Structure 1
């Protein structure tokens, strides 16, 4: 299935060709004049692993430490662009939604194509607003009609995304769609994913609007969420150069030993016999033991002394886990601890760790003995901390999501401050925005951050 995607990409590029050239140059009689709806959806799906595969995300969650060329992990004040999301997946998905009347039912029910486009668009926007704060939304993706969109508030974006996700599930009907490289067109999977995204978004409101958070959480849970690893949102790479894992390109193709497991991560796993550690990293070559590197260490080190990125993590066809059953059980455990739902917090916590073992190691062997250790067992008197600590371990290699959960809960504690620098609280806007969209950029920065576009401004839900 995924090997067909590269022809799909070529078709999508035909659709996006420039208008400035002579019409005859743009027309290839052997290809359609534009990409279909499901081809555009597939093209957007190709961007999914980029939401997770990023050294910066791993640094923000302090899973990995730089072994050489230490720089980004020291948290410099720098801008980060969001343009690739708008120009890539969001443009593809908006094109589907803007041209519903032209979608072909031969590729699956049109309503299902629209529903999937809505879900994916919501997922990308949720990731974007959680990283930057207020961003262009309602007036974005209008092309020549509006090159300077206003920045919508994160609160208004959240409210709209809740409605978009509900609308998407309400319009689904029987029938699969074509070209879906994530769920093979299975709408039951897409329904569970939409509800699960709502569930996570609702929990994000725990400190800023707990009443709305509880309402949205309980509704999403009732509507049906991901409760088994078979339904996870996973991007499966291929063992071929055209669709390989980002980390394979770095570690194998570029021969880079630039990342080691942090002391903090190893200290949360090794003393308790956590079998996931053998997946997360490789033993240090010098002594065949798991040894973490102090985060932000700038002294010259020998990479043979520390546990580097695990072979399973940088395999060419390694999967990228984006939305998982373990996360759902952790979320339910936390909601139960907050009194939002009548579930057992401890049972859901235990189930979360079991699902995490299964996801990462393929087996739940040893989970009972792991959970029997006092330092791991659910602590009802420190429920949120217990849940957050183990959720952090589970979210390895999905650093941006882990970072968001840390910003929301404050756990785990004890992260390193390299050169006195705290973990950033957001990404700064792209440099170009102060020139390309100056009035709206300045209004957004003034509204949120008192005129300073810094990495330590707080987004709406992180108050």
Structure 2
């Protein structure tokens, strides 16, 4: 996927006159000296797995516990940087969007712009859900503005809804080149944009239910994911240049630092969840699935507990970012809330089935699995049932599961290690207090009463 572009310098050795020698010497007409729009889009896509592949995200959702060097899982008050997103994928995408000379040979220019806008919206959505108010309208201006103001999360959400609608409206026939996610298929990008809108709308359920319902139905009517083939998946390679983060950590660096949590194993093992053998390996000591209590600080070792599954740490393991099953869980919840006329139970059952199919490749035995009391849909406890199974499904995308936990409160048995509660946001980068003082302080005061704490509540988490 990663391409190395070598600029070859042409030297004009003329037997006749060479009047333009100074102008032409550094120009090769056959090789570009600047990346094309679709190459910049591809480079931005290389940052997608980083949205998911993070031990801290797994700690926030309590999927993984530290087996040694226990520290980050105890939720210390510390800053987290969003600079890499602005300097990397967002800057690449902004360059595409602002370009006046995109190459139509890489696919219709409107489609290049549409994909860039969809990806930019997706990154911004992830950023604002983690930090709250962030630089948005004044961001990515380079030397024209080194101190961008922070837009409110409410404004960002409203603007992203419109951005995504406009991006799909501008699409035309034809595919684009260099697309390492959807292979240039614009129908997939359209579904993805609408699916973002749908999940964003559900995120507003507790802060603005009427808008949430309206945006949810608008996105659903415009067409969202219809199968696992539509999933936003980043597919690593069996190659050191583009390998899975967890392979690097566990295999290359020989770090057995993470085990499945007690909560996760106790949710899955009693019901013989077919996803468990994918999520983790049996403990070497007894070949049983054994979870580690989250936040345990004693000298744990690794033999007694289930470590990350062999499929999860494979060099070319995929990263699931937005999935059909997640959309079905959302549709089940919307139906349970009375937002749609769809069948909540049917969507829930299909969500579990598609989750199992996604993770295991087989839906064999799904009817028996769903028939168990612990799994069967319960209309009297619909939100809890849906949320708990969504949590199981979102394994290894801890930040997304954490957002759903903040919104719904489920699962309701997350651990407070040493009495420390699960954080409700990430705190801003330390440098912002020095580099962007006035805007940083105004944003912190507006949202959190002046304290940049990991326990402040973002706008939709009310």
Q: How does 1:194-213 map to 2 (within 5 A)?
A: 194-213=193-212
Once superposed, what is the RMSD of the aligned Cα atoms?
A: 1.4
* Bigger radius of gyration: 2
- State the alpha-carbon separation in 1 of the partners of residues 3 and 356 from structure 2: 34
- State the alpha-carbon separation in 2 of the partners of residues 148 and 404 from structure 1: 28
Cα deviation, residue 6, structure 1? 2.4
Cα deviation, residue 28, structure 1? 7.3
- State the alpha-carbon separation in 2 of the partners of residues 31 and 310 from structure 1: 44
For residue 234 of structure 1, give the secondary structure of its aligned residue in structure 2.
Answer: strand
Stretches of structure 1 lacking an aligned partner (at least 5 in a row): 12-22
- State the alpha-carbon separation in 1 of the partners of residues 183 and 226 from structure 2: 19
Cα deviation, residue 404, structure 1? 0.1
| Counterpart contact for 1:227–1:329, Cα < 8 Å | no
Q: Which residue of 1 aligns with 2:122?
A: 123
What TM-score comes out, normalization by structure 1 length?
A: 0.95
- State the alpha-carbon separation in 2 of the partners of residues 302 and 66 from structure 1: 10
Q: Which residue of 1 aligns with 2:314?
A: 315
Q: How does 1:259-270 map to 2 (within 5 A)?
A: 259-270=258-269
Q: Which residue of 2 aligns with 1:80?
A: 80
2:64 counterpart of 1:67: no
Q: Which residue of 2 aligns with 1:373?
A: 372
- State the alpha-carbon separation in 1 of the partners of residues 369 and 171 from structure 2: 41
Q: Which residue of 2 aligns with 1:421?
A: 420
For residue 4 of structure 2, give the secondary structure of its aligned residue in structure 1.
Answer: helix
Q: Deviations over 1:21-70 (max 9, x none)?
A: xx99x967584231110000000000000000000000000000000000
- State the alpha-carbon separation in 1 of the partners of residues 27 and 398 from structure 2: 42
- State the alpha-carbon separation in 2 of the partners of residues 66 and 28 from structure 1: 53
- State the alpha-carbon separation in 2 of the partners of residues 433 and 367 from structure 1: 50
Q: Which residue of 2 aligns with 1:14?
A: none
Q: How does 1:206-285 map to 2 (within 5 A)?
A: 206-285=205-284
| Counterpart contact for 1:52–1:398, Cα < 8 Å | yes
- State the alpha-carbon separation in 1 of the partners of residues 93 and 38 from structure 2: 10
Q: Deviations over 1:154-188 (max 9, x none)?
A: 00000000000000000101100000000000000
| Counterpart contact for 2:68–2:301, Cα < 8 Å | no
Number of equivalent positions: 446
Cα deviation, residue 366, structure 1? 1.4
For residue 239 of structure 1, give the secondary structure of its aligned residue in structure 2.
Answer: coil
For residue 320 of structure 1, give the secondary structure of its aligned residue in structure 2.
Answer: strand
Q: Which residue of 2 aligns with 1:191?
A: 190
For residue 190 of structure 1, give the secondary structure of its aligned residue in structure 2.
Answer: helix
Q: How does 1:136-215 map to 2 (within 5 A)?
A: 136-215=135-214
For residue 41 of structure 2, give the secondary structure of its aligned residue in structure 1.
Answer: helix
- State the alpha-carbon separation in 2 of the partners of residues 456 and 240 from structure 1: 40
- State the alpha-carbon separation in 1 of the partners of residues 365 and 4 from structure 2: 45
Q: Which residue of 2 aligns with 1:38?
A: 38
What TM-score comes out, normalization by structure 2 length?
A: 0.95
For residue 188 of structure 2, give the secondary structure of its aligned residue in structure 1.
Answer: helix
For residue 3 of structure 2, give the secondary structure of its aligned residue in structure 1.
Answer: helix
For residue 249 of structure 1, give the secondary structure of its aligned residue in structure 2.
Answer: helix
- State the alpha-carbon separation in 2 of the partners of residues 102 and 290 from structure 1: 56
| Counterpart contact for 1:263–1:291, Cα < 8 Å | yes
Cα deviation, residue 227, structure 1? 2.0
Cα deviation, residue 328, structure 1? 0.5
For residue 6 of structure 1, give the secondary structure of its aligned residue in structure 2.
Answer: coil
- State the alpha-carbon separation in 2 of the partners of residues 34 and 293 from structure 1: 50
